[in-house]
Structure 1
Amino acid sequence: MNLANRITLARIFLVPVIMFFLLIKLDLGSISFAGFSITYNQVVAALIFIVAASTDGLDGYIARKNKIVTNLGKLLDPLADKLLVAAVLISLVEMDKLNALIAIVIISREFAVTGLRQVALLEGSVMAASKWGKWKTAIQITMIIALLINNFPFTFIDFPFDTIAIWTSATVTVYSGVDYFVKNKHLIPIE
């Protein structure tokens, strides 16, 4: 197994670790100052999420640069991305930090586009990530981090960055999904 695929697998293996720190009731303590509070569990989960999310582009870059792109990598990379985002979104819903409807919209789009990608593969083509898909990923990761760290540092100036990030993420997610389907409508058999 090549380095790029190992990095992708590491991202998948970090998913349950992040969920453990978010959902298991460990009392590791918390950090509190000036009206702001965050548990060490959230800090650890946020740091692991940041590391995992940062490997998203790294594995693809390594595979392309070293000419070691494999079918396994093409399958695992988007799967790892979807697992990471979906697991954390579900955890945030459980923690009452994210409305379930937003999580459902985002996760549904991911499943729909993944299905469309599978149809493309069966037709012998690969759907490259669009600029809107890349923006969607960046905004989702930003939103998740803002929620994981309790809107730090914006909470000190009473700026709802996390709320803005949620609605921006939902909007761009829906738009990018529609964009994929419009640009690839030839893959959808209408009978």
Structure 2
Amino acid sequence: MNLPNRLTMLRVLLIPVFVVLLAVDFDWGDIAFLGADVPLHQFIAGVVFTIAAITDWLDGHLARKHNLVTNFGKFMDPLADKLLVTAALVLLVEMDLVAAWVVVVILSREFAVTGLRLVAADEGIVVAAGKSGKAKTWVQLFAIIFLLFGNPIFSYIGIPFGEWAMWLALVLTIYSGAEYFAQNYKIIVKSM
């Protein structure tokens, strides 16, 4: 197994650690972090999530740079991303930091695009991630990180950066989903 695939697997293994840290209130007290007070277990979960998000960038970068792209990586990397983001969003709903309907829209787009990719794969066509899809993913990750850390830095001046970033992620989610379907409508029509 090459290094990019190991990083992808590390991300998968970090997901249950992240979920347990965030879902269980260990009552370890609070921590002040760059102007935000958050429960210590939430802060540690945020660190784990941030490490996992960094592996998302790093595994793709290394795979492309060193020509280590594998079928395993093509399958597992986006799956790991979706599992990580889904776990975080569901837990953020439980914590009342994200509205449930926002998560429904985001997850619906993910299922729809995955379905499109499966139909395209059946036709021998690869639907690669576009720039808007990549931007959507990174904005989602930044929004989640800022929400987990209680809007550090921005809490000094009262700006709800994490919430604003999540709204931007929602807009990018809808836009990139529409773009995928507009660019690949022939695949859908052909499969009917």
Q: Which bin holds the TM-score, normalised by the shorter protein? A: over 0.9
Amino acid across the alignment from 2:30: S
Partner of 1:163: 163
Partner of 1:134: 134
Deviation at 1:63, TM superposition (A): 2.1
Partner of 1:29: 29
Mapping for residues 9-158 of structure 1, pairs under 5 Å: 9-32=9-32, 36-158=36-158
Cα distance in 1, alignment partners of residues 173 and 151 from structure 2: 21
Amino acid across the alignment from 1:40: L
Structural RMSD (CA):
1.8
- Residues 54-97 of structure 1, C-alpha deviations (whole Å, 9 max, x = no match): 11122122222332322111110110010010000001111111
Tell me the secondary structure at the aligned position of residue 188 of structure 1.
Answer: helix
Count the aligned residue pairs. 191
Structure 2 CA distance for partners of 1:152 and 1:35, relative to 1, 3 Å: closer
Cα distance in 1, alignment partners of residues 114 and 146 from structure 2: 26
Moved over 3 A (4+): 32-36
Cα distance in 2, alignment partners of residues 157 and 179 from structure 1: 36
Structure 2 CA distance for partners of 1:104 and 1:56, relative to 1, 3 Å: same
Amino acid across the alignment from 1:109: R
Corresponding position: 1:173 with 2:173: yes
Cα distance in 2, alignment partners of residues 149 and 66 from structure 1: 34
Deviation at 1:158, TM superposition (A): 1.2
Structure 2 CA distance for partners of 1:151 and 1:112, relative to 1, 3 Å: same
Deviation at 1:32, TM superposition (A): 4.4
Amino acid across the alignment from 1:159: I
Higher mean displacement: 95-104 or 81-90: 95-104
Amino acid across the alignment from 1:166: M
Tell me the secondary structure at the aligned position of residue 28 of structure 1.
Answer: coil
Aligned residues of 2:139 and 2:169 also touching (Cα < 8 A): yes
TM-score (norm 2): 0.93
Amino acid across the alignment from 1:103: V
Deviation at 1:116, TM superposition (A): 1.2
- Residues 113-139 of structure 1, C-alpha deviations (whole Å, 9 max, x = no match): 111112222221221211101110111
Aligned residues of 2:36 and 2:149 also touching (Cα < 8 A): no
Cα distance in 2, alignment partners of residues 34 and 151 from structure 1: 9
Aligned residues of 2:63 and 2:69 also touching (Cα < 8 A): yes
TM-score (norm 1): 0.93
Structure 2 CA distance for partners of 1:46 and 1:33, relative to 1, 3 Å: closer
Cα distance in 2, alignment partners of residues 185 and 176 from structure 1: 14
Deviation at 1:168, TM superposition (A): 0.9
Q: Any gaps of 5 or more consecutive residues in structure 1?
A: none
Deviation at 1:26, TM superposition (A): 0.5
